[in-house]
Amino acid sequence: MPLAESTRQRVVVLGGGISGLTAARELATKGHAVTVLESGDRWGGLGTWFDWNGHSLDQFYHCQMPSDDDLLQLIRDIGLGDSLYWKPTRMGFVVGGKRYAFNGPMDLLRFDPLTFPERIRFGVVSLLLRRLGFGRDLDRTRIEDWLVSCYGRPVWEKILRPLFTSKFGPAAGDMPALYIWERLGREKNTVSRGYLRGGLRTFLDTLVENLRSLGVDLRLETRAGTIRETGDGVEIDAGSALIEADWCVSTLPLPVLRNCLGDTPLAQRIRTPDVPYQGVVNAMFFLRRPLDNYYWAPVVDSGTEFDGIVEMTELVETSHYGGHHVAYVMKYCDRSSPLFLEDPGQIAARWTQQLLALYPDLNLQASDIADVRVFKAPFVEPAYPLGYSELKPLIHDGESRLFLATSAQVYPKITAWNSSVRLAKEVARRLLDHMETVPRTKRTARLPATVQV
């Protein structure tokens, strides 16, 4: 129901990924005047899409898990519940150039990178791992210390260290074990994964249409600059426009937010810990034939720069990709690393050779690869320090006009759409509650939110 002008407040949301769009929806549903600023030329952030020969395809592989309650609710709320389907998927493992199935006890018994006793220990400990962590202060226990104590040093060195390092970089062993413990249970090797017919574009188009119907002012190619408090509101420097609002919700990665806060008084009050982020380089291969039909296979010590393969057509029909099979391969790395800065064409050429070399038995040839697209993202996985539960940014400092909903706050939950949707809803709820406690000003009633400069 529309709010009276005197009650309606103006909120500017920074970032048009899933966090920003969800927060905007929650606030607009309650009748507030919401503006979303997104620096890119399309919505979705890390979950966005691109055009390929007339098909709208996901830039980065995305699937849904059965435990994604908040995301699944959002999907239903915007009317896409019937477009979601589920399919059992399998996992592989590539070690030393050899490819293994990795889906159950029989596969584990055949997994010869580990000795027989190590395989038995691996299986038993994996079944009990969640219970083994119970009651321990895992937020202050290093992943390496915990997993070595559970699995033994050889399993850590041969399998687990390469796996974690591939995602979080060289400091992976120093991260809090709580992050892994929380992850247990979301993912199993053989699991039903979900996908929305039409992919991320269908989801985003529907969500954005829903936001428009709620009156949200959606601005692409609008980069937020300095954020300033003005006493009874906030001002955002957005290039050719100065955006005034009563409240701001930032979903920007912490380093970007720190830049926006600069040396303003707000910067002193908002907790933005200096957490290193891993970025990602991701190559999407369009193939004329399938690979192993494992949705996901980590790649360890196999002469490749990429350290994982996601065969998306294990989950999605090839018709979605113009009849092609699709495999994404990825390397998580720092945004200042030589790989991240390298020309995409060179990466595509080198990774093509590396992919071909992994499948000699399938006689995979260059002619089996119809196309390769390389995408990069600078801020994906925060590499959390020990004790991060007490260091992580607060949703709100209790006083300012700025609320935070960034992926670096979802800890100990994993960085995923579901975590972002849950956080964004919580942030919107906290902001709505807080609005009630703050006396209204004349300025609050003035709409719309923009002053041209």
Ligand X SMILES: Cc1cc2nc3c(=O)[nH]c(=O)nc-3n(C[C@H](O)[C@H](O)[C@H](O)COP(=O)(O)OP(=O)(O)OC[C@H]3O[C@@H](n4cnc5c(N)ncnc54)[C@H](O)[C@@H]3O)c2cc1C
Chain residues that interact with ligand X, rule: CB under 6 A: 14-20, 37-40, 45-47, 60-63, 223-224, 251-252, 256, 280, 282, 330, 377, 380, 407, 415-418, 420
The 10 Å CB-count burial string (b at 16+, else e) for 146-165 is bbbebbbebbbebbbbbbbb
Provide the minimum distance between the beta carbon of 58 and ligand X in the complex, in angstroms, as a whole number.
Answer: 9
Residues in the chain: 453
Contact predicate 197/85, CB 8 Å: yes
Contact criterion met (CB below 8 Å) for 299 and 245 = no
State the nearest-atom distance from the C-beta of 13 to ligand X, in Å.
9
DSSP 309-333: EEEGGGTS-GGGGTT-EEEEEEEEE
- Dihedral pair phi/psi, residue 70, rounded to 5°: -70, -40
Tell the smallest beta-carbon distance from residue 103 to ligand X (Å): 19
Q: Which residue in 409, 418, 371, 362 sits closest to 390, CA to CA? A: 409
Beta strand pairing call for 325-333 and 308-311:
antiparallel
Helix (H) or strand (E) holding 24, with range, is helix 18-29
Nearer to ligand X, 101 or 196 (CB): 196
- 3-state secondary structure at position 47: helix
- 155 or 257: CB nearest ligand X: 257
Q: Which residue has the tokens 């005047």?
A: 33
Give residue for tokens 């070690």. 95
Residue closer to ligand X, measured from CB, 220 or 370: 220
Instruction: Provide the minimum distance between the beta carbon of 238 and ligand X in the complex, in angstroms, as a whole number.
Output: 8
Closest distance to ligand X from the beta carbon of 2 (Å):
27
The three-point CA angle 429-433-439 to 5° equals 145
CB of 381 to ligand X, least distance (A): 8
Q: Which helix (H) or strand (E) holds 36?
A: strand 33-37
Residue nearer to ligand X on the CB measure, 147 or 248: 248
For ligand X, which is the closer residue by CB, 151 or 306? 306
Closest separation between CB of residue 225 and ligand X, Å? 7
Rank residues 37 and 147 by Cβ distance to ligand X and give the closer one: 37
Q: Least CB distance from residue 192 to ligand X, whole Å?
A: 14
For the bound state, the minimum distance from the C-beta of residue 186 to ligand X, rounded and expressed in Å, comes to: 10
Q: Which amino acid is at 401?
A: R
3-state secondary structure of 225: coil
Residue 120 token pair = 């038995």
CB of 1 to ligand X, least distance (A): 28
Complex with ligand X: residue 91 or 147, whichever CB lies closer: 91
Q: Closer to ligand X at the Cβ: 92 or 133?
A: 92
Give the shortest CB-48-to-ligand X separation in angstroms: 7
* Alpha carbon distance 397, 395 (integer Å): 7
Provide the β-strand partners of residue 194.
Answer: 64, 86
Which parts of 126-246 are beta strand (E)? Answer: 191-196, 217-219, 227-229, 234-238, 241-245
- The H or E element that residue 241 is part of is strand 241-245
Is beta strand 191-196 parallel, antiparallel or unpaired with respect to 217-219? Answer: unpaired
Q: Secondary structure of 68-133 in the HEC alphabet?
A: CHHHHHHHHHCCCHHHEEEEEECEEEEECCEEEECCCHHHHHCCCCCCHHHHHHHHHHHHHHHHHH
Cβ distance to ligand X smaller for residue 251 or 302: 251
Residue nearest to ligand X (CB): 45
CB 99 within 8 A of CB 292: yes
| Closer residue to ligand X, CB minimum distance, 18 or 143 | 18
Q: How far is the CB of 443 from ligand X (least distance, A)?
A: 24
Among residues 293 and 365, whose Cβ is nearest to ligand X?
293
Q: Which is nearer to ligand X, 121 or 186 (CB)?
A: 186
At 183, list the tokens: 């992850």
